[in-house]
Amino acid sequence: MGRVLNAALGIVIALTLGALIMWAQGYDPLASYAALFQFSLGDPYALATTFKNAIPLVLTGLSAAIAFASGPVNLGQPGQLLMGALAATIGGLYLDLPPLAMIPTLALLAMAAGALWSGLAALLRQVFGMSEFIVTLMLNIIADYFTLWAITYPFKDAAAYSPMTPPIATSGWLPEFGDWNSGVLWMLAATALMWLLLTRTRPGYEWRIGGQNALFARLGGCPVDRNFVTVMLLTGALAGLAGGLLIMGGPHRFLRGLGANYAWDGVMIAIVANNSLPGVLLYGLFFAAIQTGALGMELITAVPSEIVMVLQGVLVLVIVASREALHQFADRLAARRQAQRRAKHASLVESAEQA
Amino acid sequence: MNVLSGLINGAISGATPILLAALGGAFTFYAGVFNIAMEGMMLMAAFCAVWGSFTFGSWAAGVLLAILGALALALIFIVFAVWLDTDEFVTGIALNLFTLGATTYLLRQSFGVKGVFAGPGIDPIPRLQLPFIADIPILGAILSGQNLMVYVAALATLLSAFLIFRTRFGLQLRAAGYNAASLDSSGVSSARMRAYSLLLCGMLCGLAGAFLSLGYVVLFSENMSAGRGWISLAAIILVSGNPWGIALISLLFGFADVLGLLLQSYQVPSQFTAMTPYLATLVALYFYARRHRKERRYVNR
Amino acid sequence: MTAGGAISGECSQMPGAAREPHLAPPLIQMRGIVKVYPPNVLALDDVTVSFAGGEIHALVGENGAGKSTLMKVLYGLVHHDQGEIHYRGRAVRFRSAGEAIAAGIGMVHQEILLVNEYTVWENIVLGAEPVDRLGRIDKKRARSEVQAIIDRFHFALDPDAVVANISVAARQKVEILKLLYRNVSVLILDEPTAVLTPQEIPQLFAELRALRDEGHTILFISHRLEEVLELAERVTVLRKGRVVATLPTAQTTRCELAALMVGRKVLFSSRRTPQPPGDVIFAVEGLCYEDEHGRIRLQDIHLHVRAGELVGVAGVEGNGQLELVHVITGLLQPTAGRIRVAGVDLTQASILERRRYIAYVPQDRGRMGSSLAASVVENAIMTHHRLNPRLTHWRGLLLDWRRAHHFTQHLAQHFNVSMPGHSAPLRALSGGNQQKVILGRELLLECPFILLDQPTRGLDVGSIEYVHDQVLAMRRAGRSLLMISANLEEIFLLADRIVVLHRGGIVVDLPAEQATVEQVGRYMLEGKG
């Protein structure tokens, strides 16, 4: 109950602030929000697009949430996503299998590449003690430049004017069912699987407890260091998969600037959802909705779509701050009420004794 | 000789924003604040500097607005992380994301462009020619004629070291980081110390951002801080906050930056040369971790 | 520490320090104080008490009775919800420690709150530093002022020593000096003797009496009744947040105070019945440990525990206890020596391997013994989830939560745990109940050897008695137990043999019947009897 209240409060405040900004700049907030809604959830096509756009958000969100809840500070989703996308692209350029085999193969390649990239950070931590916080951040930027080089030189589409690869084989394109992209199924399946993993299995239990108190887990017999590596590999794979699905379900080729919009959203979603996996799914869909709707909003009322990024930042701050504040507020109210009761009781007793 | 002095100047230029931001972060480090918002503060400052310089035609206005912009972010950090007790890591990340969005949005709003805003209307921070020093045979070319902000950065290093290690403020600041409860029981609010450290960080990151967009280059591009805030953080950790150590490390990173450009002349693709500062950070982190490895107590099983 | 602090031996009939009670108007008056900690913990329930100027006044009560809270309210660290405070005849409400200090009231907390990285003089002047016009610290003046008060009160400290390198007793003196530097006249001390060895206590008492003779007022919180009777002129007893009595110490006894503290007659005799020990279950031979800086922390430790035997390890904190525990549990690798339990050589074994044979109740509940954020059931099944095949399916990969809940139910019943529910986070339970969950989890592992580290620290009397009962039950059942405790009374109550660690080595190993508290205290402090 508290979490829903928290979310609602945060969303209301963020949207109100956004409206104020729009109004101050001379735009019509109500019309803008109406357009936002229309173009994200208002009709079946918009809804399908929102779900499709949610795929990388939810997958990177799962990656960040599982990592944070288990201990490793994996901030490398942007880089792992890019490596996964690159691997899927290369596979799609050189392999040609029937779709039933092609799509899982490319997905596996993407996951492997993402895991490799996060595994590198895990290795540096285990062997040399280098903080994965900083390493994953640096690897993000390195991956960005590396993939840029890859699509500018070795894998460049000779016919294109700007850096990009040729399109991948059509057998690797994710099938669509009407407006709906099958990547959505992958997203939902991943969420469900990860949730089961974390709540019903022994590794999931050890990861969660290890994330809350590593010393306690270690003393209890959990292989904390081995679990660290496993979690890094798993979360890297999830982010890599996000990249692969982006290619297979989206432009079908690696373009410059791919995934730039999704850079930090995964981390943001994990934070706002407090590492809860169902929460990641819901917040992922929400952010996808406002991002999708923003483009349409710009068409109708000319509000630059980038304002959505501002809204997202405000939302994160407000939700996280109010999470703590609501707790303390409720506790303090209860305490004050009890104190007043005791004082009243004491004075009643006193007057009874005097009588 | 010209090539060498060109390299050194390039290194100094590259080092300056990192040095300034890291000095700001040093204050929060000593105060015990887990501050990862330097990236955002620098970016906001860079935008405000260009906006101010373009709108008022004066680099001084740009610098002033840059400081104000970064201070605004510092204030938000204080409200959430110091006053409301929100997790500092989360607050920092949220601020960085917010700034990325805000500056991209404002870039479009104010100048009507996407990606980059450059042009003759932006008044850059001038270089300073020091009269007698410029005449010194070899060093003269380096010590004089640097961008004004470089001298400011050098002064800031000195002042920071003095403030942190010699004054009452510094004693209390470090106590807030070492043992906040002890400081509180001494009658000085550790929360107030943390707030001051954040304000100082805002000021210094403001200067860093202003130099980025009005000195290092003269333009604003989306996300132009490009991870320098993270490198500053690494610098702080590597030397445990010491201002002199920070100056040294910043120079090293500046050299790595310049090295990248040098490699380009050897047919190394630009994408790889651009990686050099970040690879350098990893290398530095390796040595840091090795020095501290002996402090990892527990057996790996 | 348990009721009265005097568990072994008979009830002392000696009256307390003989001194005339003060007849002057009270210096401090606290009336009708109520404090509720969110959400519903009633810490102080309508407390009324007054303190006279120039007296030494003790506050006693068991853990959780409210003595610390009451003083924190006076000091301004904690804001009371109802009631009023009068100081020197005027109504006051200090909103922070700073205000209290400015008014002349200072408090030394139980945990030493010093900046370890700073020197003695830096710690003393922190917050009141002498500065020049630039804001630069006037180091010379600071040092000379500190040296002056060190000399005035005969405290024997080196102003330039780094706090991390001085003894705990010395650190306590620095805390007191910090307050005297600011000219406080009322000193509040929270459990001042808890960190001292028996030999260091008389010196502290002498210093406190000297301060009293100079006109200072001393309020101290303690649960060690013989010390209270020796030092204080008056004593106030608190129980469950209410004042039970205020008496001159000259007119009361340890038995009476203990009974007032607990609310019932307290038995002061040991419940341990002698029994012949069995085979050696736990043995450590030639154990050595050198830390990462090359300092020797454990020197050639030989120790064994038999079935049905409890060995108590005494020692001043920092003499190797932590390293010994970590080496036994497997967190640290010894540089030499062997560990054997039930005949199995565990020296190279992983932590999980050892847990088949070693049950471990750690020193710090929240940091090492549990995850406070996790639910009760999640805490209860730790280690069992790996060692008990009934809790998992599919070769240990899937957890059977239904069985986990059954197990938790069994634990809760068997160990008398009271909690809101299995899925409540562990932090929702009281300290005593948390310890019961941890104890139950470890004892239900059915290991032949049990390692206990400060098992009753911070618990209320009822929980302490319960833990002692369980420990003795394990002993009766034939398990072997090693208990490290800073509480000498507890060791004398439970142990068959007493061992003292001093500078990483075992300096004495004797049967409890042959040992006295003073003798053990000497071994702890000096390494020889």
The pLDDT tens digits of the residues spanning C2-37 come to 333 333 334 544 444 444 445 567 889 999 999 988
Question: Token digits for C76?
Answer: 């301004």
| CB contact A346 to B (< 8 Å) | no
Q: The dihedral of CA C274, C280, C284, C286: what is its sign?
A: positive
Touching chains, A (3+ CB pairs < 8 A) = B, C
- Which residues of chain C are within 8 Å of residue B168 when distances are taken between CB atoms? 129, 131, 135-137
For domain B2-292, the question of CATH label 3.10.20 is answered with: no
* Averaged pLDDT for residues C72-101: 89
**pLDDT tens, C243-290?**
999 999 998 888 788 778 777 655 555 677 888 888 999 999 999 999
Instruction: Provide the residue count of chain C.
Output: 529
Tokens 């610390």 found at:
C68
**Cα–Cα distances in Å, from C155 out to B186, C158, C210?**
20, 9, 11
Q: Report CA-CA distances (Å) from C520 to C191, C316, C508.
A: 21, 11, 9
Shortest CB distance from C332 goes to which of B182, B188, B297?
B297
How many beta-carbon pairs below 8 A join chains A and B?
A: 132
CB proximity under 8 Å: A 14-53 to B: 25
Q: Which residues of B touch C109 (CB under 8 A)?
A: 185
> CB–CB of B175 and C115 under 8 A?
yes
- The torsion defined by the Cα of A99, A102, A107 and A110, in degrees rounded to 10, comes to -140
Query: Which residues in chain A are closer than 8 Å to C350, comparing Cβ atoms?
Result: 221
Euclidean distance between CA atoms A123 and C231, whole angstroms: 60
Q: What is the pLDDT of residue A201?
A: 95
**DSSP-assigned letter for residue C414:** H
Domain boundaries, chain A: 1-27+309-355, 48-302
Residue C138 pLDDT level (bands cut at 50, 70, 90): confident
pLDDT class of B56 with cuts at 50, 70, 90? very high
Name every chain B residue with its beta carbon within 8 A of the beta carbon of C135: 167-169
pLDDT tier for residue C191 given thresholds of 50, 70 and 90: confident
The predicted pLDDT at position C12 comes to: 45
Q: Do C126 and B183 touch (CB under 8 A)?
A: yes
Residues C368-406 pLDDT 10s: 999 999 999 999 999 999 999 999 998 889 999 999 999
Which residue type does C271 have?
A: R
Average pLDDT over residues B179-184: 90
| Cβ-Cβ contacts under 8 Å, C332 against chain B | 297-299
pLDDT band at B111 (very low <50, low <70, confident <90, very high): confident
Confidence (pLDDT) at A30: 85
Task: Provide the β-strand partners of residue C289.
Answer: C298
Where do you find CATH 3.40.50.300 in chain C?
1-104+184-269, 280-357+447-526
Interface probe with B: pick from A9, A21, A120, A145, most Cβ of B within 10 Å: A145
pLDDT digits 0-9 by tens, C455-470: 988 787 778 888 999 9
> What span, in angstroms and rounded, lies between the C-alpha atoms of B200 and B194?
10
Of the pLDDT bands very low, low, confident and very high (cuts 50, 70, 90), residue A40 is confident
The pair of structure tokens assigned to C293 is 């800086």
Q: What is the pLDDT of residues A244-276, one digit of tens each?
A: 999 999 889 998 888 776 667 899 899 889 999
Q: Record the tokens describing residue B235, joined without a space.
A: 């610098």
Interface test with C, best of A193, A198, A202, A327 (most C CBs within 10 A): A202
CB–CB of B185 and C102 under 8 A? no
Chain A residues within 8 A of B269 when measuring between CB atoms: 149, 152-153
Instruction: Provide, rounded to the nearest whole percent, the portion of chain B with pLDDT above 70.
Output: 97
Q: Closest Cα of chain C to B17: distance in Å?
A: 28
- Work out the burial of residue C52: count CB atoms within 10 Å of its CB; fewer than 13 is exposed, 13-18 middle, 19 or more buried: middle
**Confidence band for C1, pLDDT divided at 50, 70 and 90:** very low
- The larger pLDDT score, comparing residue C112 to residue C356, is at C356
Answer whether B90 sits within 8 Å of A141, measured CB to CB.
no
pLDDT in tens, B243-277: 999 999 999 889 888 888 788 778 788 888 888 88
Place of tokens 């404002």: B106
Cα–Cα distances in angstroms (integers) from residue C38 to residues A235, A337, A338, in the given order: 38, 10, 9
Find chain C residues with C-beta within 8 A of A212's C-beta: 371, 373-374
Quick check: C42 contacting B, CB < 8 Å? Answer: no
Mean pLDDT of the A93-98 span: 89
Sign of CA dihedral A344, A346, A349, A350: negative
Measure C398 CA to nearest chain A CA, in Å.
4
Cβ-based contacts of A335 with chain C (< 8 Å): 36-40, 81
Is A219 near chain C, with CB under 8 Å?
Answer: yes
Residues pairing with C239 in the sheet: C242
CB contact under 8 A, B227 and A313: no
Pairing of strands C310-314, C336-341: unpaired
The interface residues of chain A toward chain B in range 88-127, judged by CB-CB distance below 8 A, are 124, 126
Out of 3.40.50.300, 3.30.465.10, 3.20.20.70, 3.40.190.10, select the CATH number for domain C1-104+184-269.
3.40.50.300
Residue A353's pLDDT band (cuts 50, 70, 90): low
Nearest CA in chain C to B175: C115
Partner B contacted by C97 (CB < 8 A) = yes
Number of inter-chain CB pairs under 8 A, B vs C: 80
d(CA C314, CA C524): 7
Instruction: Report CA B203 to chain centroid distance, whole Å.
Output: 10
Quick check: C101 contacting B, CB < 8 Å? yes
Cα–Cα dist C38/C495, whole Å? 40
Give C-chain residues touching A208 at CB under 8 angstroms.
374, 378
Q: How far away is chain A from the Cα of B2, in angstroms, using its nearest Cα?
A: 30
Phi and psi for A14 in degrees, rounded to 5? -60, -45
Of A223, A225, A317, the CB nearest to B94: A317
Kindly determine whether residue C42 and residue A342, on different chains, have CB atoms separated by under 8 Å: yes
Q: Do B227 and A141 make contact, defined as CB atoms within 8 angstroms?
A: yes
- Which CATH class name applies to C280-357+447-526? alpha beta
Written as one string, the DSSP assignment of C259-283 is: HHHHSS----S--PPP----SEEEE
Q: How confident is the model at residue A82 (pLDDT cuts 50, 70, 90)?
A: very high
Q: Which residues does chain B have within 8 Å of residue C98's beta carbon, measured at their own beta carbons?
A: 187-188
Tell me the chain A residues in contact with residue B292 when contact means C-beta distances shorter than 8 Å.
129
Residue type, C320: G
Structure tokens at C123: 């710690």
CA dihedral B33, B39, B40, B46 (to 10 degrees): 130
pLDDT for res A244: 95
Q: Which neighbouring-strand residues pair with C107?
A: C188
Question: For a pLDDT cut of 90, what percent of chain C falls above it?
Answer: 50
SS3 B14: helix
What is the domain partition of chain B in residue ranges?
A: 2-292
Query: Which residues, other chains included, contact A77 with Cβ-Cβ below 8 Å and sequence gap of 6+?
Result: A60, A63, A64, A235, A239, A242, A266, A267
**Two structure tokens written together for B286:** 């390796």
Determine whether the interchain pair A208/C351 forms a contact, defined as Cβ–Cβ distance below 8 Å. Answer: no
DSSP letters along B219-242, please? EEETTTTTTHHHHHHHHHHHHTT-
pLDDT score of C473: 93
Does position A69 have pLDDT exceeding 90, yes or no? yes
Partner residue facing C331 (CB), from B169, B185, B298: B298
Q: What is the pLDDT of residues C315-347, one digit of tens each?
A: 877 788 999 999 999 999 999 999 999 999 999
φ, ψ of residue C450 in degrees (nearest 5): -120, 125
Q: What is the mean pLDDT of residues C207-232?
A: 89
Please give the pLDDT value at position C55: 92
Evaluate whether C163 touches C115 at the Cβ level (below 8 Å).
yes
For residue A148, give the nearest of A94, A242, A83 by alpha carbon. Answer: A83
